[in-house]
Amino acid sequence: MRSLQPIYHDTLDSTNSEAWRLIDSGIGVEGMVVIAKSQTSGRGQRDREWRSPNGGLYLSVILQPQIPASLGSQITIWSVWGIASTLSNIVPSLKIKWLNDLVVENRKLGGILTETRVSSGIITYAVLGVGINWLNDVPDVGVALADLACNLENLESLESLVLLGISHGWEYWQKYGIESILPMYMQLISSRSVQIGDRFGSIIDITATGDLVVQWQNSLDTSILKAGSISLGYGS
């Protein structure tokens, strides 16, 4: 990855949308970072709104991974792991909620939104969106870093740590592959409990494509749950 090059804005509809506009205009290249103080139309997974008032960190990184589309979830895995690993130095209780959320005691601190563009089965561009609560108002299921006992001076310090985490995740992935990251990702998972209908199970592994391997209670059966097929929820 090229060195990360931030472009700052006061307000955008979405940093991800701005990153795609830069790509479409021929300006956006790998390593470019779009940062906004607030977003008017921030979005999360499954087209959910991401509330983005002043005081939070909202950024998007342009990538050109050139990997098969089937491996797109790896981008989310290495990036959320890289960020969590870096931020855990100041928030030891920080965990990952599968697949893409950062949580503290089952309250959402931030999230990752990976969007891709595919040509002939290859991801030619990816935009990695990151939103993390700092001093902004948060919903009931959320938590802000400023409310935690962490040694973080300001939003600029948080930005530096997050970009460092993204670079760390990318470099580790490139050097050692996703298989080396998965055990460390699993160690940071916030909850391994799964309930689907009246079935209860435990997460015992995660695949290279981001799917969960679940062992069901009172059974030898295991199931593969596809990324995006279920939500583990909060407070479980």
pLDDT of residue 47: 59
Give every CB contact of residue 58 below 8 A, 6+ residues apart in sequence: 15, 35, 36, 37, 38, 39, 42, 52, 130, 131
Two tokens at 109?
């601190």
Average pLDDT along the chain: 91
**Cα 189 to Cα 207: distance, rounded to the nearest angstrom:** 14
Query: Residue 120: left if φ>0, alpha if ψ -120 to 50, beta else—which one?
Result: left
Q: What are phi and psi of 89, to 5 degrees?
A: -70, -25
**Taking Cα atoms as reference points, which of 133, 175, 152, 170 lies closest to residue 4?**
170
**Cα 58 to Cα 18: distance, rounded to the nearest angstrom:** 12
pLDDT of residue 49: 64
**pTM score, whole prediction:** 0.91
Where do the domains of the chain lie, and which CATH numbers do they carry?
5-187 (3.30.930.10), 193-225 (no CATH)
Residues 134, 145 contacting (CB under 8 angstroms): yes
**Taking Cα atoms as reference points, which of 112, 103, 16 lies closest to residue 73?**
112
How far is CA 168 from each of CA 32, 110, 199, 233, rounded to the nearest angstrom?
A: 16, 18, 38, 28
**Cα 57 to Cα 135: distance, rounded to the nearest angstrom:** 9
**Taking Cα atoms as reference points, which of 99, 123, 127 lies closest to residue 111?**
99
**Taking Cα atoms as reference points, which of 52, 53, 57, 33 lies closest to residue 42?**
52
Q: State pLDDT tens for residues 136-172.
A: 989 888 999 988 978 888 999 999 999 999 999 999 9
Residue 235 has pLDDT above 60, yes or no: no
Two tokens at 139?
């919903």
Residue 229 has pLDDT above 90, yes or no: no
Q: State pLDDT tens for residues 29-71.
A: 999 999 999 999 776 655 566 668 799 999 999 999 999 999 9
